[in-house]
């Protein structure tokens, strides 16, 4: 049985192919202005890497495809679409069966989902149309600081005294960061301050839905170890992070596809 999940995010498209319930191929690529084409390219790339492993398959030979993400309706070849919340929950739960709180920080959104003991979505809150608490917040401030966004995490771990950044709005935080740069505050301390600011925001959302252990962090920003540490310190909880946090939603979509297939068979 071959099934796929495609997660069309605002910045990247992720595709996951499952072969008999096991992850057989994954791809991540930039969404760009045309989500429909990007989704097709992503699934074709995943099929290609599947072929390299000796499993030849075409788009038509996939038994079931589930699409998710902000651009999920653009995926013409999907059999079904599911919300990000549902897919994040299924994906995170598969990776960490003990998870009750899932935090997803993506490029342009963030979500906190609370699950029941059995993994059903009990409550969730999402950040919509506001850049604070998202990858965009980090990206914008990284540019101001003059550091690549992928270096933020490691640098921040060297901070001695995190700079206090009180604004959550990117625009206002930008002015605060600039004034720290003028004051010659060490870059590591500024970055650590930025991470504290974003984790304050996420922690507030976690409080809104209620925090239940265990907590997992998924989405592209979870690759930033500085954000993970800051959020752990703020929440006073250990946070589980999968190896490839950005594909958790696509994985969830693929798992839902597999289930749909089994049900049909």
Partner 1 sequence: MMLVAGIDIGSLTAKALILEDSKIRAYAIIPTGVDSEGTSKKVMNSALERAELSLEDLEYVVSTGYGRVIVPFANKNITEISCHAKGAVFLFPSVRTILDMGGQDCKAIRCDASGKVQNFAMNDKCAAGTGRFFEIIAETMELPLEELGGLSLEAMSAAKISSACVVFAKSEVLALLRKGVDKKNILAGINEAVALRVFALLNRVGIEKDFAITGGIAKNVGVVRKVEEKVGLKALIAEEPQIVGALGAALFAKEALEQV
Partner 2 sequence: MIAHYGYADGSGEYYLIVDTDRCDGCGRCVEVCPNDILELAPDDYGKTVVRVKDEFVNSIGYICPACKRRDERCESVCEHAALSYTW
What are the residues binding partner 2 (CB under 8 A)?
110, 125-130, 132-133, 166-168, 200-201, 203-205, 207-208, 210
Q: How many residues bind partner 1 (CB under 8 A)?
A: 15
Q: Which of residues 89-118 bind partner 1 (CB under 8 A)?
A: 108
**Residue number, 29 or 205, with CB nearest to partner 2:** 205
Q: Least distance from C-beta 131 to partner 2, angstroms? A: 8
CA distance 143 to 221: 16
For residues 136 and 202, which CB has a smaller minimum distance to partner 1 in the complex?
136
| 168: helix, strand or coil | coil
> Which class for 216: exposed (0-12), middle (13-18), buried (19 or more C-beta within 10 A)?
buried
Which residue number, 195 or 201, has a Cβ lying nearer to partner 1? 201
Nearer to partner 2, 82 or 234 (CB): 234
Q: Which is nearer to partner 1, 143 or 158 (CB)?
A: 143
Residue 136, binding choice from partner 2, partner 1, none, Cβ under 5 to 8 Å by partner class: partner 1
Q: Which of 117, 118, 129, 184 binds partner 1 (CB under 8 A)?
A: 129
What 3-state class would DSSP assign to 244?
Answer: coil
- The contact pattern for partner 1, residues 181-210, with x = CB under 8 A and - = no contact, is ------------------------------
Identity of the residue, 122 or 139, whose beta carbon is nearer to partner 1 in the bound complex: 139
CB of 179 to partner 1, least distance (A): 9
Q: Which of 2, 170, 218, 230 binds partner 1 (CB under 8 A)?
A: 170
CA distances from 151 to 82, 147, 181, 187, 239 (A): 33, 7, 18, 12, 21
b/e 56-91 (16+ beta carbons within 10 angstroms → b): ebeeeebbbbbbbbbbbebbeebbebbbbbbbbbbb
Cα(108)–Cα(136) distance, rounded to whole angstroms? 6
Question: Packing angle between helix 248-264 and helix 84-95, nearest 10 degrees?
Answer: 90
Give yes or no for a contact between 221 and 137, defined as CB atoms under 8 angstroms apart.
no
DSSP per-residue letters across 136-148: HHHHHHHHHHT--
Q: Is 11 in the site for partner 1 (CB under 8 A)?
A: no
210 binds, among partner 2, partner 1, none (CB under 5 to 8 A by kind): partner 2
- Total count of residues recorded for the chain: 265
Query: Considering only CA atoms, which of 122, 149, 114, 171 is closest in space to residue 226?
Result: 149
Query: Quick one: which H or E segment has residue 105?
Result: strand 101-105
Half-sphere exposure of 234 (CA within 13 A, CB side): 23
Nearer of residues 133 and 245 to partner 2, judged by Cβ: 133
Q: Which does 204 bind (CB under 5 to 8 A by kind): partner 1, partner 2, none?
A: partner 2
Q: Which does 47 bind (CB under 5 to 8 A by kind): partner 1, partner 2, none?
A: none
| Footprint on this chain of partner 1 (rule: CB under 8 A) | 33, 108, 129-132, 136-137, 140, 167-172
């Amino acid at each position: 049985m071959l099934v796929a999940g495609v997660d069309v995010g605002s910045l990247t498209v992720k595709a996951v192919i499952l072969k008999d319930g096991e992850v057989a191929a994954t791809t991540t690529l930039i969404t760009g202005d045309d989500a429909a084409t990007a989704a097709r390219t992503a699934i074709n790339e995943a099929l290609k890497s599947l072929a390299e492993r000796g499993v030849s398959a075409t788009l038509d030979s996939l038994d079931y495809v589930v699409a998710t993400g902000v651009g999920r309706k653009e995926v013409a070849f999907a059999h079904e679409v599911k919300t990000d919340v549902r897919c994040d929950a299924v994906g995170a739960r598969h990776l960490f069966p003990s998870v009750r709180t899932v935090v997803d920080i993506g490029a342009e959104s963030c979500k906190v989902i609370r699950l029941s003991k059995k993994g059903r979505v009990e409550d969730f809150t999402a950040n919509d149309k506001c850049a604070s608490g998202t990858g965009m917040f980090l990206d914008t401030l990284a540019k101001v600081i003059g550091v690549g966004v992928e270096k933020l995490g490691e640098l921040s771990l060297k901070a001695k005294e995190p700079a206090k950044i009180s604004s959550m709005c990117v625009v206002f935080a930008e002015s605060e960061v600039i004034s720290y740069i003028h004051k010659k505050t060490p870059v590591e301390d500024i970055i650590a301050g930025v991470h504290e600011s974003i984790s304050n925001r996420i922690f507030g959302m976690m409080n809104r839905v209620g925090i239940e252990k265990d907590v997992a962090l998924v989405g592209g920003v979870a690759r930033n170890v500085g954000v993970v540490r800051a959020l752990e310190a703020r929440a006073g909880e250990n946070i589980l992070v999968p190896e490839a946090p950005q594909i958790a939603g696509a994985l969830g979509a693929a798992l839902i596809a597999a289930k749909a297939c089994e049900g049909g068979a």
